[in-house]
Amino acid sequence: MLVLSYILTAFVGYLLGSIPTGFLVAKARGVDIRTVGSGNIGATNAFRVLGKGFGIFVLLMDALKGWVAVQVGALVVSQLLPGAPVEYLRITAGIAAILGHNFTCWLNFKGGKGIATSAGVLIALVPYALLIILAIFIILFLTTRYVSVGSIAAAFGLPFATWFTSKHDIGLTAVMAAIGALAILKHRKNIQRLLNGTENRIQFKKKEATP
């Protein structure tokens, strides 16, 4: 029964995370987001390709599915199959949701980088650590105008922020270290473009048209 609880939780979390929000929103607009911009189905490319309004919607929905997986999915399973510690089920659901987003079964197991979905999971599991890495992201994003730089730095800082805000919980810190490592791994192409000087910056102001 205990093993079944974890399997079912992982399955529910994965299915929730695997919903390809960016792809579906773009498809409704007549665009295959995988063929434009960076080719990624996440919020950053949605901002770039579909505009600010749709980008914000994708960002919020991707975060929401991570939060729902932890807060609702794990709770439902714990009620159906009581016995497993709810906190461990929540962690299992969160990890599965991130994997579902990154490797969605609906798009041949090719998904996004998992930053927004991870944020939703972190809101549910380690909200204070999220505030710290969100500050890191904002500072580096505003100073460099690279979303990838802010995301990578935030992912790197996640286990340290978790350690200091979770009363030195080694298990939870290890889980967050794995989530952060996965996020950095998914940014390997961005890292290569940063090294090559070809990474796209976010433009805060529209370029003035030349007369």
Rounded Cα distance, 203 and 182, in Å: 27
For the segment 196-208, what is each residue's pLDDT rounded down to a tens digit? 999 988 876 654 4
Q: Please report the pLDDT score of residue 211 as a whole number.
A: 44
Rounded Cα distance, 47 and 115, in Å: 14
pLDDT band for position 41 (50/70/90)? very high
Rounded Cα distance, 41 and 24, in Å: 9
pLDDT band for position 119 (50/70/90)? very high
* pTM beyond 0.85, yes or no: yes
Q: What is the 3-state secondary structure (H, E, C) of the chain?
A: CHHHHHHHHHHHHHHHHCCCHHHHHHHHCCCCHHHCCCCCCCHHHHHHHHCHHHHHHHHHHHHHHHHHHHHHHHHHHHHHCECECHHHHHHHHHHHHHHHHHCCHHHCCCCCCCHHHHHHHHHHHCHHHHHHHHHHHHHHHHHHCCHHHHHHHHHHHHHHHHHHHCCCCHHHHHHHHHHHHHHHHHCHHHHHHHHHCCCCCCCCCCCCCCC
Average pLDDT in the 83-105 region? Answer: 96
Q: Please report the pLDDT score of residue 60 as a whole number.
A: 98
Rounded Cα distance, 199 and 189, in Å: 9
Q: What percent of the chain has pLDDT over 70?
A: 96
Domain ranges of the chain: 1-116, 126-201
Average pLDDT in the 22-30 region? Answer: 97
Q: Please report the pLDDT score of residue 84 as a whole number.
A: 86
Quote the mean pLDDT of the chain: 94
Average pLDDT in the 22-49 region? Answer: 95
For the segment 133-163, what is each residue's pLDDT rounded down to a tens digit? 999 999 999 999 999 999 999 999 999 999 9
